Amino acid sequence: MKPQDILEAAKSLRKKYAVTDGDAFLLQNCNPNETSGLPGIKKGDSKEILEESVQMMAELQDMLYAQDHWSILLIFQAMDAAGKDGVIKHVMSGINPQGCEVHSFKAPSTEELDHDFLWRSMRRLPARGMIGIFNRSYYEEVLVVRVHPEILQSQKIPPELVGKNIFEKRQADIRQMEEFLGRNGTVVRKFFLNVSKAEQKKRFLERIDTPEKNWKFSAADVKERQCWDQYMEAYESMIQTTSSKESPWHVIPADNKWYMRIAVSGIIIDTLASLNLQYPKVDEKRLAQLKEVRATLMAEKE
Ligand code: ATP
Ligand code: MG
């Protein structure tokens, strides 16, 4: 594909999967198994396309880093075995490690529980010029905690502040926090890797039946699977209330890993391309200085 074609494909993938206004969003309208965002493209083409997009992403990231104005925060949320780790590995494989940070958020530590629910994430936000990736995030606070509200007790919040609407309030707080980030140069892009319940079962069975994949299997994941419907309700509510033009959710069909990876990398490329990134301009004074140093180097004897 030519660079222009990649950019156009990236734009149409973004348009297809971005939720910029959550009011009318329904998860039932999103098919985890479709691969229709790039007509004519099949699984066999995916390796080449992914390599080309990784290359383009690396070029854009180099400018992001050099310009040092914007930060990019990419958030990945999904049910277990949807392929978060694989997406992060593949999509970021060509990027300069110095310009990128990945943080995985697991159940909070004692120290983390001694603070508000955003604290641990705020400490990990990407600096200017950087791409930050959150593998799970503060959104767990309206997902796993909503599905298992007994977790709230471990959070040591003053009891009179734990009302019936606590999750709606958290969603509102997250929305405002992301607005604040946007106004300060952090571009937030969120991905829900939408795997079907049937495909998750297939992948769990694979993890059990393939010795090299045994380490990935966790009985706890199967337990969470029992709460599938509650999770879907929580995801839907999260997407409805925290999608905006500035920090959209992208609901990516995840039953076909090759397609999911292309879709995610396309949306990241479109995000970077929309920033009009440029290498910093060198002024006259600096140009003269460079010329002078060049002359000194050339005059060296050896
Ligand atoms: P993998 O299984 O691929 O290694 P993972 O992200 O599933 O990756 P795990 O250690 O299996 O990692 O799971 C992390 C667990 O931590 C998840 O069940 C998640 O819901 C939970 N978790 C994350 N954030 C919070 C939170 N704020 N409060 C409670 N539980 C959380
Ligand atoms: Mg897990």
What pLDDT score was predicted for residue 287?
A: 95
pLDDT exceeds 90 at position 63: yes
Q: Which atom of ligand 1 is nearest to the CA of 135?
A: 6
Once rounded to an integer, what is the mean pLDDT over residues 175-204?
A: 98
Ligand 1 site, residue 199, Cβ cutoff 6 A: no
- Axis-axis angle for helices 84-91, 46-67 (nearest 10): 70
Top mutation candidate among 106, 142, 207 for ligand 1, by most atoms within 8 Å of CB: 106
Please say whether the structural domain 3-299 has been given the CATH code 3.30.110.70: no
What pLDDT score was predicted for residue 189?
A: 98
Q: Whose CA is nearest to atom 15 of ligand 1?
A: 106
The rounded percent of the chain whose pLDDT value lies above 70 is 100
Ligand 1 site, residue 90, Cβ cutoff 6 A: no
Cα–Cα distance measured from residue 106 to residue 115, given in angstroms and rounded to the nearest whole number = 16
User: Which band of pLDDT confidence, cut at 50, 70 and 90, is reported for residue 1?
Assistant: confident
Ligand 2 centroid – CA 298 distance (Å): 58
Ligand 1 site, residue 157, Cβ cutoff 6 A: no
Structure tokens at 142: 């309206």
Q: How far is CA 137 from the centre of its chain?
A: 10
Contact between 43 and 89 under an 8 Å Cβ cutoff? The reply is: no
- Rg for the chain, CA atoms, rounded: 22
- Within the chain, where are the H helices? 3-17, 46-67, 84-91, 110-113, 119-122, 144-147, 166-183, 197-209, 219-225, 228-242, 257-273, 284-299
Helix (H) or strand (E) holding 33: none
Q: What is the pTM of this model?
A: 0.96
- Region of poorest pLDDT, from 35-49, 53-67, 231-245: 35-49
Ligand 1 site, residue 80, Cβ cutoff 6 A: yes
User: Which band of pLDDT confidence, cut at 50, 70 and 90, is reported for residue 275?
Assistant: very high
Ligand 2 centroid – CA 218 distance (Å): 7
What pLDDT score was predicted for residue 263?
A: 97
- At 103-127, the pLDDT tens digits run 999 999 999 999 999 999 999 999 9
Ligand 1 centroid – CA 291 distance (Å): 54
What is the signed CA dihedral for 27, 31, 32, 36, rounded to 10 degrees? Answer: -140
Q: Which atom of ligand 1 is nearest to the CA of 216?
A: 2
What pLDDT score was predicted for residue 34?
A: 97
User: Which band of pLDDT confidence, cut at 50, 70 and 90, is reported for residue 49?
Assistant: very high
Cα–Cα distance measured from residue 39 to residue 130, given in angstroms and rounded to the nearest whole number = 33
Once rounded to an integer, what is the mean pLDDT over residues 165-174?
A: 98
pLDDT exceeds 90 at position 55: yes
Q: How many other C-beta atoms are found inside a 10 Å radius of the C-beta of residue 231?
A: 16
Ligand 1 centroid – CA 105 distance (Å): 6
User: Which band of pLDDT confidence, cut at 50, 70 and 90, is reported for residue 91?
Assistant: confident
Q: Report DSSP state, residue 23.
A: G
Ligand 1 site, residue 141, Cβ cutoff 6 A: yes
Once rounded to an integer, what is the mean pLDDT over residues 18-40?
A: 96
User: Which band of pLDDT confidence, cut at 50, 70 and 90, is reported for residue 92?
Assistant: confident
Where exactly are the structural domains of the chain? Answer: 3-299
Q: Which atom of ligand 1 is nearest to the CA of 144?
A: 20
Pairing, β 186-194 against β 100-104 = unpaired
